[in-house]
């Protein structure tokens, strides 16, 4: 009777699939948890400024538009609502200074066309520093 040893012919092998899975999980963990500090690579010398306010602050030009679409430049009402009358009032109030900041204040119920007309008149006259005033949202 011949007794064969069937277990003696098997060669041991190492399964690499679970090892690769563990290594990939470790790589992903280290990539996600690593912080990248880009500020340390840039060597910048920031400019300095004095904290004193400007000696002569420029007064901004105020343009108000009420709910009916009527224009007020400074404290003077513009009698007509067309763009030519508004441009003439703006040119009179500002003089030759087109670098002067302009604060545009419009009522929330103002027709959209009135605001666009005011912005158009300011742009045609050469004003570039235009701010639109808003009110903070009220909490309920």
- Name the band, by pLDDT with cuts 50, 70 and 90, for residue 72: very high
Q: Is residue 52 part of a domain?
A: no
pLDDT digits (tens, 9 = 90+) for 84-119: 999 999 999 888 888 889 999 988 888 999 999 999
pLDDT of residue 34: 79
Domain that holds residue 117: 61-132
For residue 64, give both structure tokens.
Answer: 């108000």
Q: Is residue 4 part of a domain?
A: no
Answer whether residue 124 shows pLDDT above 80.
yes
**Which residues, including other chains, have CB under 8 Å from residue 71's CB and lie 6 or more apart?**
63, 64, 65, 77, 78, 81, 86, 89, 114, 118
pLDDT of residue 45: 62
Answer whether residue 40 shows pLDDT above 60.
no
Residue (of 113, 60, 105) closest to 83 by Cα position: 113
Q: Is residue 128 part of a domain?
A: yes
Count of domains for the chain: 1
Dihedral (Cα; 95, 97, 99, 102), 10-degree rounding: -30
Considering only CA atoms, give the Rg of the chain. Answer: 36
pLDDT of residue 75: 85
Q: Is residue 71 part of a domain?
A: yes
Lowest mean pLDDT among 2-16, 21-35, 62-76: 2-16
**Which residues, including other chains, have CB under 8 Å from residue 139's CB and lie 6 or more apart?**
none
Q: What per-residue string of b and e applies to 7-27 under the rule 16 or more CB within 10 Å gives b?
A: eeeeeeeeeeeeeeeeeeeee
Q: Is residue 31 part of a domain?
A: no
pLDDT of residue 42: 53
Q: Is residue 46 part of a domain?
A: no
- Spell out the long-range contacts of 25-32 with Cβ–Cβ below 8 A and sequence spacing 24 or more: none
In this structure, what CATH number is given to the domain that contains residue 94?
A: 3.30.420.270
Answer whether residue 41 shows pLDDT above 70.
no
Q: Is residue 8 part of a domain?
A: no
Higher local confidence (pLDDT), 48 or 93: 93
Q: Is residue 91 part of a domain?
A: yes
Q: Which residue blocks in the chain are alpha helix, DSSP H?
A: 17-33, 83-94, 112-125
pLDDT of residue 89: 92
- Name the band, by pLDDT with cuts 50, 70 and 90, for residue 7: low
């Amino acid at each position: 009777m011949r007794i064969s040893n069937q277990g003696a012919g098997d060669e041991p092998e190492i399964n690499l699939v679970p090892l690769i899975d563990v290594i990939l999980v470790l790589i992903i963990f280290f990539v996600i948890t690593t912080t990248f500090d880009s500020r340390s690579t840039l060597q910048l010398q920031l400019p300095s400024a004095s904290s004193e306010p400007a000696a002569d602050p420029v007064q901004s030009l105020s343009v108000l538009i009420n709910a009916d679409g009527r224009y007020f430049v400074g404290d003077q009402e513009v009698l007509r609502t067309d763009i030519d009358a508004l441009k003439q009032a703006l040119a009179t109030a500002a003089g030759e200074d087109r670098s002067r900041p302009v604060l545009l204040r419009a009522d929330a119920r103002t027709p959209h066309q009135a605001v666009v007309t005011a912005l158009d008149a300011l742009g045609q006259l050469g004003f570039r520093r235009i701010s639109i005033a808003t009110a903070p949202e009220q909490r309920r």
